[in-house]
């Protein structure tokens, strides 16, 4: 598990590089915020606000793709119980 909120990101000197990170066994995407930057020939300039993903749209697409990949490769999809067993060992 890794959790860096925006205040911690700033304290690490990474403000504007990424918004935050909050990943766990069942969420490798984190919060998913993005921002756009543009190169002016000398430096990168932030040209948008932080934009949140539409998880209601994206989550089903991710799940379907993950399930198809696991089936194709013969990979067992982990459950919460599987993850808890690893953490407790």
10 and 42, same domain (yes or no): yes
Q: How many domains does the chain have?
A: 2
Nearest to 20 by CA among 1, 45, 46, 2: 2
DSSP assignment, residue 5?
A: -
Label residues 30-49 b or e (16+ Cβ within 10 Å = b).
bbeeeeeeeeeeeeeeeeee
61 and 32, same domain (yes or no): no
User: At residue 76, does pLDDT exceed 80?
Assistant: yes
Domain span at residue 48 reads 1-53
Residue 68 pLDDT class (50, 70, 90 cuts): very high
User: At residue 32, does pLDDT exceed 90?
Assistant: no
Residue 84 pLDDT class (50, 70, 90 cuts): confident
pTM, full prediction: 0.60
74 and 48, same domain (yes or no): no
């Amino acid at each position: 598990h890794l959790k860096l909120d925006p205040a911690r990101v700033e304290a690490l000197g990474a403000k504007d590089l990424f918004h935050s990170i909050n990943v766990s066994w069942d969420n490798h995407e984190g919060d998913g915020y993005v921002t756009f930057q543009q190169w002016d020939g000398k430096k990168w300039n932030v040209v948008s606000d932080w934009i949140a993903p539409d998880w209601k749209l994206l989550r089903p697409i991710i799940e379907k793709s993950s399930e198809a990949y696991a089936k194709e490769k013969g990979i067992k999809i982990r459950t919460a119980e599987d993850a808890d067993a690893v953490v407790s060992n």
